[in-house]
Amino acid sequence: MNCGQRCCIVRPNPGYQWIVCGTGLSGTKWAAKILTHLGYPTVHQSPLTYNGWESDPVTETGVASPYALPHHISQVPRSLLIVRDPALYVASAKHGTLFGTPSDHLRWIRRHFGGLGQPPELDFWSRHLEMFSWLTDNVVTLETMTTNSRVATAMFENLVGAEISIADVEEAYDAVGVVNVHNPRMRAAKERYDLLG
């Protein structure tokens, strides 16, 4: 998986100690907010973009980005893959413009995952999971992370390499809020999903 673009020129990790990855629309931003609230600064996306590492040197910091590639994961001591329910992911991606209009994100997907089958959102979700599930230290569903504080605590502890209390995670949930409620695409997808149940 080397596209020859800036993202695949192997620039060294500027010092990030952990990485949270996902497909995009998968909760990486939420995880960064939770970790930061817990006292483990985690920057979302800007240090690791579709152009690869774009950051000055850092220490004791993590990154959460949907633009992680295998060589980025191998450069970071600890990693976590968040996988979102495929129905919710597809609904969010279809409701927005992620796959419908040209964008840097879509170009990045096509460079690294090639031509996508139909529906492209589900094909990308499936290929991403297949590629990254064996590369990362831990894999967890977004739905489990957001509803089971015990599992979330264990995942966060493994990720940052430190002990975290369940009470602190639950307090962070209250402070940060429900994942992506600020995003109309996510809210609309969640409403549709809830109607099915």
What number of residues does the chain have? Answer: 197
For the whole model, what pTM was predicted?
Answer: 0.90
Strands (E) located in the chain: 18-21, 42-44, 48-49, 52-53, 62-65, 78-83, 138-141
CATH architecture assignment, domain 6-196: 3-Layer(aba) Sandwich (3.40)
Residues of the chain with pLDDT under 50: 182
For the stretch 50-85, pLDDT in tens is: 999 999 999 999 999 999 999 999 999 999 999 998
Residue extents of the structural domains in the chain: 6-196
- As a whole number, the mean pLDDT across the chain is 89
